[in-house]
Structure 1
């Protein structure tokens, strides 16, 4: 270990979400071979953080405001829907900054770089206050996938809750969080790691993104996966472990030339949005008036009907942790294996097709193993993600699922993806993308980017 490496202390700051945390955990494990690592995240994620080798520090979630925070930032009488996520993130950040700074100052050895999720503004503010370099970890294919209309940005930033918190941060620390960023887009001007490959990267879009951070450096490192590490299975799970799978049944089916289909719609619709409408997060795919439960059950019902008579298919369905997820649905067909959670990156290499919401991690993990995808996006970046899969020839996109997803269309798309012949262009396209991902550098490249950023800062200070 070099003397410079011995001096490093990498700090991670993240939100308690499977999609945002899982790609960082293998990087933590890689960094721990060389340097100290401390991870700030909500208490329910302590188990996976410590399993990766980092020291854990508590950071309360800020997607929902506490009563104390409401009293400080929310005008009397303001309806909850006007200050909920993502507006709440700025108020929560302002409230947490003093404690976060105190914790960072108390670390030994002192932190030398902060790696953080760009949904959070306060790690970047803390880095500037402490004179530390920062690396944002973008677990989507680039900022352009969450481009928003100017009027939406203006509405969010003119919200009184956002105004109060924004002013508090600027007055206390001299940092204008909206000067070079926006809600859920607080990227680092030093470096951003992106868990995609160059051919799938979506750069800053014209308008706010180009104006505020169009010149920021983004480095694509490909998917960040390690099947040996404990992962977040579901944010609402009591323990972050996956339900067991009957691997013998799966292997017997594969030995008998059956085709394995995996269905998972991620964790956010099955938690945060379960009984809430997607609203503005899903205006681009017609699901703004749907709750998570409504669309999840629609997809499951369609899959049951589409695949129940396909005797050469074995289907693994992940339903999540909501107790009423299957209420009112017909019983699962006999060719379905139903589980609350599964070890996704252990299962995917055995699969011939993946029906996915096209969250960035799920999309990249599947393509990383050369598995073609049926995309049924639910909100946000999942829509352009699914379209990029289709454009690459690696699957299908049902970008307007209430309009174009049916038993017939789903059955047809699955049949094409699982085709065992050499004429299966979808499989070939997915395998080509897999090769590109394997050469992007992955976990080691991500760790190197973080350390290079820290070393660059130290070298600059030493040479001053």
Structure 2
């Protein structure tokens, strides 16, 4: 009974804000489950309706309304746009690409959208929800700005959860390896018209100077707690320009907790349709994989991830340069069909090898591939990846963070073929840590012969690669995962003494009105003026 009283006395209302893609959502689901198990109540502060049903399925062991709640911060227009075409959802509040200025065209749509929606439209709703729900701590992916603004306005503790393998994986700089490239990208972000207008609105509404205080896509406050689902071995030093913006002391707020994962039985999201419902996988032929192994063949698994072979199949942003699509050089279709063809040539008919290809939903539409699958290939739109990795000898992967962690956990060496975003840095890390090999630009650098050579290098030197996987497994285990993250959050909140003043001028008369009817009116004026600028 004493334990129950102690648990109740420490109970917190946790406001949790997530990005929609499964790779960002899954760690948050694991963390939220751990927090609820520890007696805390979680409020999912959702800026889109994408994952309500997914969260309900994941939280089936908990009671909605008691253990967790939904705060719906989107508009009916958001819901309509998302249902009509999720791929254009982020463009709804932005100028069409044909009329974007020379700097806007270089900034990814997600970052433009986050700045506009967070600063101008959703911030008042978010702040009101934090007050109404009596939130004790905010937890958010730091790509989003809502929680950071709300924390600064309400002096509520805020925790950033970086769902990339390292704090140095800054989305604004995906595919940019030099300080010069990074400074150039930051300057373009600042000079983009919609960003500059949003920053002015933020200053008018809340007295916050965005560019003085925040690094775009890594929005952190100096007295926040920031967790990363990677481990120190996966990280690199924070770029110099990041330290200039955020202050060198920001690294004192960093804590690597390693992967935060749930099993599928516990609520892990695997593959999801655009309506947010689990796509049914056909029965996977493990008996055929076993037969290949009995024949003495090595089994190679190939997957480029759900996004490149799905939503990004006809991605038009690539025509605007590598900055717009987070470093991607081709559409998903060009990327996949090029590499599929090379792998067919490299291993088709080779009686030493069997290949499992997770193709995504578009493969059957490409008749030149679908009608000519080699006999030693198994092609499925989706595969049970975690289970399959226990049966394969090598993994050709896009180097998404989840796939990378799962491969290391299964001691399977990787050939990394990155497409966009953090995958470029992850691919380099795979080589650096000796758990596989990588390409920087798979389409341009690879050939059927070179792919064959690299895969055979993985197979012939597997002992060394496995030893390095096991070394990283030990580090991941000691990182602590969701349990350590929850303990760190509780300690941070218990010791929290306020955020203090941000850098730059603060308009105190605006701050005093924040949350009042007058503030809401000002916010509406800012939104209208923003749309007209």
TM-score calculated relative to the size of structure 1: 0.87
Could you tell me whether the CA contact under 8 Å between 1:234 and 1:321 is conserved in 2?
no
- Counterpart position of 1:404: 445
Which range moves more in the overlay, 183-192 or 385-394?
A: 183-192
Matches within 5 A, 1:98-117: 98-107=124-133, 110-117=134-141
Matches within 5 A, 1:155-166: 155-166=188-199
Which whole-Å CA distance do the structure 2 matches of 1:7 and 1:254 have between them?
Answer: 52
Is 1:175 paired with 2:208?
yes
- Counterpart position of 1:52: 58
Which range moves more in the overlay, 240-249 or 447-456?
A: 240-249
Deviation at 1:57, TM superposition (A): 3.5
Which whole-Å CA distance do the structure 2 matches of 1:82 and 1:388 have between them?
Answer: 26
Larger Rg: 2
- Counterpart position of 1:121: 145
Number of aligned residue pairs: 454
Which whole-Å CA distance do the structure 2 matches of 1:161 and 1:380 have between them?
Answer: 22
Q: Which residue among 335, 341, 346 is the counterpart of 1:295?
A: 335
Q: Structure 2: which 5+ runs fail to align?
A: 60-67, 83-87, 177-181, 500-533
Distance 1:87 1:119, change over 3 A: same
Could you tell me whether the CA contact under 8 Å between 2:168 and 2:236 is conserved in 1?
yes
Is 1:137 paired with 2:161?
yes
Distance 1:76 1:373, change over 3 A: closer
Matches within 5 A, 1:228-239: 228=265, 229-234=267-272, 236=274, 239=277
SS in 1 for 2:212: coil
Deviation at 1:218, TM superposition (A): 1.4
SS in 1 for 2:396: strand
Distance 1:40 1:350, change over 3 A: farther
Which whole-Å CA distance do the structure 2 matches of 1:193 and 1:339 have between them?
Answer: 36
Is 1:191 paired with 2:225?
yes
SS in 1 for 2:44: strand
- Counterpart position of 1:268: 307
Distance 1:321 1:124, change over 3 A: farther
Deviation at 1:239, TM superposition (A): 1.8
SS in 1 for 2:479: coil
Distance 1:413 1:74, change over 3 A: closer
Which whole-Å CA distance do the structure 2 matches of 1:304 and 1:375 have between them?
Answer: 18
**RMSD, aligned α-carbons:** 3.3
Is 1:7 paired with 2:20?
no
Deviation at 1:153, TM superposition (A): 0.9
Which digits, 9 at most, give the CA deviation of each residue in 1:409-429, with x for residues without a partner?
A: 21222223234x8x6312222
Which whole-Å CA distance do the structure 2 matches of 1:264 and 1:58 have between them?
Answer: 34
Which digits, 9 at most, give the CA deviation of each residue in 1:28-54, with x for residues without a partner?
A: 211111211122333221122123334
Q: Which residue among 389, 393, 397 is the counterpart of 1:356?
A: 397
Q: Which residue among 206, 212, 215 is the counterpart of 2:249?
A: 215
Distance 1:324 1:333, change over 3 A: closer
Which digits, 9 at most, give the CA deviation of each residue in 1:82-140, with x for residues without a partner?
A: 67332222001121112222233332xx2211111111111111122222111111111
Higher relative contact order (CA 8 A, sep 6+): 2
